[in-house]
Amino acid sequence: MLNNLPSTVLVNRVMPKKAFYEHLKTTAAIKEQFVQQIERIEMVASIKEASIHIPGDKDVAEIDVLAFHLKGADVPYEAIELVARSIPNRLLFVCLADESCKLLVRRDRLYETDWMPTDDAKLELAGSTLGELWDSISSQVVFGSASPVDLNGRLECKRRSEALRLELEQVERKRRSEKQIAKRNALFDRKRAIEAELSRLEGES
């Protein structure tokens, strides 16, 4: 798991689960995720200027890598959100189950990779500042590319595409059940407009 990280950033320290669900404001359901779904939490790495000689900037001073060793394949999303909100540093989460893992980052929301064999999980550390490095890590998780260029713009395109695809499903479902010809035609026009915008967004990505 991320065995290409430089030794200078490695920490490999177990973090007590109770520190999160006993001392932070949470719910019974989130506490249940910590207890039932997470075997242990480990800080794998701390990426900062002192450990990697890449300067921080006004937004990012440290990036921590946290491993969630799970008891099964169910991802404890709410528990991850709680941890993300409670730690001021930028966080890369690694969920591990059996011989598989997935990576997650939180930007405006959580983004995740698909499950992959643990040995296939790699991380490219690229950037002239920790802010650029954080954008690069996020891009690797969300898009499979280490380029940090215009990450916020690409994320906005992704969110818009997801919303349009959801609307397209709804429009197609309504059109199949609609009896009135005028309404069916209006739904068809909307379907064509959505498809055209999706095509444009895909061309920009």
- Residue 97's H or E segment, with its range, is strand 90-97
Residue 196 within a domain: yes
Q: Beta strands of 25-89 (E only): which ranges?
A: 38-48, 62-70
Q: Is the pLDDT of residue 204 over 90?
A: no
Verify that 44 and 121 share a domain, yes or no.
yes
Residue 26 within a domain: yes
Residue 74 within a domain: yes
Residue 205 banded pLDDT, cuts 50, 70, 90? low
Burial class from Cβ neighbours inside 10 Å (0-12, 13-18, 19+) for residue 154 reads: buried
Verify that 145 and 171 share a domain, yes or no.
no
State the pLDDT at residue 74: 94
Q: Dig out the tokens for 48 from the structure.
A: 């900062």
Verify that 78 and 39 share a domain, yes or no.
yes
What is the domain range of residue 164?
Answer: 153-204
Average pLDDT, the chain: 93
Tens of pLDDT along 146-192?
Answer: 998 889 899 999 999 999 999 999 999 999 999 999 999 999 999 99
CA distances for 8 relative to 57, 67, 111, 135, angstroms:
20, 18, 27, 21
Residue 13 within a domain: yes
**How many domains does the structure of the chain reveal?**
2
Q: Report yes or no: 11 and 48 within 8 Å, Cβ to Cβ.
A: no
Residue 203 banded pLDDT, cuts 50, 70, 90? confident
Q: Is the pLDDT of residue 70 over 90?
A: yes
Residue 35 within a domain: yes
Residue-wise burial string across 95-106, b where 16 or more C-beta atoms lie within 10 A, e elsewhere: bbbeebbbbbbb
Verify that 22 and 118 share a domain, yes or no.
yes
State the pLDDT at residue 23: 82
Tens of pLDDT along 17-58?
Answer: 998 888 888 999 999 999 999 999 999 999 999 999 999 999
Q: Is 66 helix (H, G, I), strand (E, B) or coil?
A: strand
Q: Quick one: angle between helices 181-204 and 151-177, nearest 10?
A: 160
Tens of pLDDT along 73-120?
Answer: 999 999 999 999 999 999 999 999 999 999 999 999 999 999 999 999
Last residue of a domain, one of 113, 130, 149: 149
